[in-house]
Each structure stands twice: as C-alpha cells, then as structure tokens.
Amino acid sequence: MKTATHSALFIPGGCLTAQAFRGYLNGSLSATEQIRVKEHLRSCRICSDALEGYKRHRNQDFLQGDLEMLSTRIRKRYAAHLNRKTTFPVMIVIVLIIFFIIILIAYYIIRFLLINPS
Ligand SMILES: [Zn+2]
C-alpha cells in the first residue's frame, strides 16, 4: 500500500507526478511522502519551478491576472497586425493611382505634341 502511493509520487524518470504536487500543496501526503517530495524539490530545479507554477495558478487572483495580461497582449498584437494589414494595401493602391494619373498625363502631353508639332 505504502509503496503504491510512493510510486504514484514519482514518474519513472524520478520527477514528481501531478498527484505529488497536488498532495504536497494540499497537505494530503504522509509525513514520509512529504519528506521525499521535499528532498526531491531541493535537488530538482524543474520540479521546484513546476511547484512555483502550481502554487501561482492555484491562486485564482493570480490566474485571473495572468489571463487578463495575456488577453491584453494578444489583443494589442492582433490590433497591430490588423493595422499593418489594412494600411499596407491602401498605400499601394494610392501609389498606383498616382502613378496611373502621371502616366495618363504624360500620354496626353505626348499625344498633343505629336498631333500639333510646332
Ligand atoms: Zn524533478
């Protein structure tokens, strides 16, 4: 029984399972399990970082704050992308129209000069 719960705390590679993180954070682990998890957290950077992530996102305010920050950043990025997308073709069309008008004027000037050579 005890070995079964212990093996559920660690993945084959030796790091903590999600169950271990949850148990550690909500205090449902036995004293021995708690010690084993603590020992692993001291020696493993990945799991200690993961624990920080778990702690952070267990807190609803943090989660809400993170989500708001993310959605604000996404909206800003999307707006910037949209602005670039709309202004770029508009500029091309304006340049083309001006270019077309210049060619048209040049054409009529040349035609006028050819018809009425002085
Ligand atoms: Zn680990």
Condensed to tens digits (0 to 9), the pLDDT of residues 60-76 reads 676 677 778 888 888 88
Please give the distance, rounded to the nearest whole angstrom, from the Cα atom of residue 17 to the centre of ligand 1.
Answer: 9
Q: Is the pTM of this model over 0.75?
A: no
| Helix or strand run (H / E) with residue 25 | helix 18-26
| Helix or strand run (H / E) with residue 38 | helix 31-43
Specify the higher pLDDT residue, 2 or 118.
118
Strands (E) in the chain, as ranges, are none
Please give the distance, rounded to the nearest whole angstrom, from the Cα atom of residue 54 to the centre of ligand 1.
Answer: 14
Token representation of residue 33? 């399990």
Answer yes or no: is pLDDT of 1 > 50: no
Please give the distance, rounded to the nearest whole angstrom, from the Cα atom of residue 109 to the centre of ligand 1.
Answer: 80
Is residue 37 within 8 A of residue 5, CB to CB? The reply is: no
Please give the distance, rounded to the nearest whole angstrom, from the Cα atom of residue 26 to the centre of ligand 1.
Answer: 19
CB 23: neighbour CB atoms within 10 A? 20
Please give the distance, rounded to the nearest whole angstrom, from the Cα atom of residue 92 to the centre of ligand 1.
Answer: 55
Answer yes or no: is pLDDT of 91 > 50: yes
